[in-house]
Structures are given as structure tokens and as C-alpha cells.
Amino acid sequence: MQTLALPPWFGLTLMAVVCGAAVWKGGWEERLTAMAFLIAWIATLIGRDREWLGTQWGAFAVDVVLLGFLVVVALKSARYWPIFAAGFHLLSVATHAARIVDPQVGAWAYATASVIFSQLTVFALAAGVIGVLRERQSAEAGAAAGATRR
């Protein structure tokens, strides 16, 4: 067992908290992306090969669809975080492609890269939620300050 590995519940908890915050407080980009992440997570659980002996074809298909969604959000959004989310998720898809091209890529390297890039994608969504919250706070502060001035 690897001693530096994060426990499996860490990524799930991180995603649940970030997606919950995105649905609760985010804008349209954050809400749609959070829902897409949750749907992709469930679809990946259903289609995953639990032994990691070969390419995760089910996860690969889900990741390609999610990448397409993230690219569309990045193109339609005025925010920057969807670009980073799409970029990190592209690296996740590239990890699958590396395993397809070279089946000798070890299961540990394959799984580790998948986890790292998926968590970076979630961090990008978290940055988007924080950005929306900061925009709202500054808008409220500006409105409150302007209302009292004469």
C-alpha cells in the first residue's frame, strides 16, 4: 500500500462539498457544471472496471462527454475558471489515451493521474464558486455604500 495515498473518501467529500456549494450559491456555469460532475461521477461508478487491469473504457467515455460539456461552458462563459476546468479535464482524457496507446502504463500511475486531474477540475469549480461569492459581496457592499451617500 502506498503511504502517501489520500483516502478514497477525501475526493468524494471534496466533490460533494464543492458541488453542493456550486448548486447552492453558484451562477449558471457553476450549477450546470456541478450537476454534470455528479452525473459523470455516478456514470463512472457504473461503468468502471474495479480491478484497474486495463483501460477504463466506461470512465473514458464519460470523461470525453464531460470534456465536451466543459468546453461548451468555457466557450459560452465570461468567466475564466471553465477554461481551467476544461484544461484539467483534457489532461484526464489524455491519461486514458496514454493507457490506450501504451497498455504498459501501470495501474497505479493511471489511477493516480486520474485522481489528480479530476481533483484539479473540482478545484477549478471551487474557484468559480468563490469568484461568484466575491462578486456578490462586492456588489452588495457597493449598493449599501451608495445607498447611504448623498
Please give the backbone phi and psi of residue 111, each rounded to the nearest 5 degrees, phi first: -65, -40
Task: Place 15 in a pLDDT band, splitting at 50, 70 and 90.
Answer: very high
Q: Is 89 contained in some domain?
A: yes
Fill in the amino acid letter for 104.
Answer: Q
Q: Is 119 contained in some domain?
A: yes
CA dihedral 36, 125, 61, 69 (to 10 degrees): 60
39-48, 117-126, 132-141, range with greatest mean pLDDT: 117-126
Q: Is 110 contained in some domain?
A: yes
> What is d(CA 91, CA 94) in angstroms, rounded to the nearest whole number?
5
> What is d(CA 59, CA 79) in angstroms, rounded to the nearest whole number?
27
Its domain, for residue 108, covers: 10-38+66-136
Q: Which one has a higher pLDDT value, 85 or 8?
A: 85
Number of independent structural domains in the chain? 1
Q: Which one has a higher pLDDT value, 112 or 53?
A: 112
Q: Is 98 contained in some domain?
A: yes
Fill in the amino acid letter for 34.
Answer: A
Q: Is 146 contained in some domain?
A: no
Q: Is 49 contained in some domain?
A: no
Fill in the amino acid letter for 129.
Answer: V
pLDDT at 40: 96
Task: Place 150 in a pLDDT band, splitting at 50, 70 and 90.
Answer: very low
Residue 27 pLDDT exceeds 70: yes
Crossing angle (nearest 10°) for helices 57-76 and 28-47:
170
pLDDT at 2: 58
Q: Is 50 contained in some domain?
A: no
31, with CB counted inside 10 A (0-12, 13-18, 19+), is middle
> What is d(CA 68, CA 79) in angstroms, rounded to the nearest whole number?
17
pLDDT at 144: 61
The predicted model gives 51-78 an average pLDDT of: 91
Q: Is 90 contained in some domain?
A: yes
Lowest mean pLDDT, pick from 29-38, 63-72, 78-87, 138-147:
138-147
